[in-house]
Amino acid sequence: MHGDSSPELFREVFGRFATGVAVITSAGAAGSGGMTANAICSLSLDPLLALVCFENGARTLPIVREAGRFAVNLLAAEQEPLAGVFASKLPEAEKLDGVAHALRDGVPVLDGVLAWATCELNELIAGGDHTIAIGRVLSLGLAEHAGVQPLLWYAGGYRALAPHAGA
Ligand SMILES: Cc1cc2nc3c(=O)[nH]c(=O)nc-3n(C[C@H](O)[C@H](O)[C@H](O)COP(=O)(O)O)c2cc1C
């Protein structure tokens, strides 16, 4: 057991918190784009609030700030290639090229996602080298097919859900 507090160990420790994978998209006066994110969370039920942590240098952040809106797209297992595209530094304007999506509440909701939420930006809070964006939910949706599986992220790699040993 280590007991240090290095950034490397911090990454490893929180990397053991298995998560889904989201793409945060936005579109507005500052263009359109998106970024892959797993530092997201449901925050409040009354009102319905969600939060997303943006690296301060993420190019999606000024787009969200300008648009005052964003969409949280929760990826399905077969959408790993999309996670790669939106985690890349491809020119922001090209990220949505060829990615099937529809504008809902003015922000891009990707086709084939596990679930999605559109949010109005409520607040931006400084958090070290990241910025916490709090959004008020505008609309929500689920995949049309019940069998859609989630894309997961664990210990620095993409994973798939496995049936529970006791199931
Ligand atoms: C699985 C995964 C999760 C990520 N989670 C976040 C996150 O929560 N917040 C963040 O700012 N960047 C996150 N990133 C990194 C961004 O996707 C990456 O920096 C991206 O290039 C940002 O795009 P942009 O500069 O076009 O906004 C994650 C990357 C991966 C692969």
Ligand 1 atom nearest 55 alpha carbon: 11
Pocket lining: 39 vs ligand 1, CB cutoff 6 Å: yes
Would you call 58 helix, strand, or coil by DSSP? coil
36 CA from centroid of ligand 1 (Å)? 5
> Over the stretch 107-120, which tens digit does the pLDDT of each residue have?
999 999 999 999 99
Which candidate, 102, 114, 110, 38, places its Cα nearest to that of 75? 114
Ligand 1 atom nearest 84 alpha carbon: 31
State yes or no: pLDDT of 163 exceeds 90.
no
DSSP-derived secondary structure for 38-96: --EEEEETTTTEEEEEEETT-THHHHHHHHTEEEEEEPBGGGHHHHHHHHS-S-GGGTT
23 CA from centroid of ligand 1 (Å)? 9
> Over the stretch 30-73, which tens digit does the pLDDT of each residue have?
899 999 999 999 999 999 999 999 999 999 999 999 999 999 99
Lookup: tokens for 147: 């069998």
pTM, full prediction: 0.96
For residue 3, the model assigns a pLDDT of 67
d(CA 102, CA 105): 10
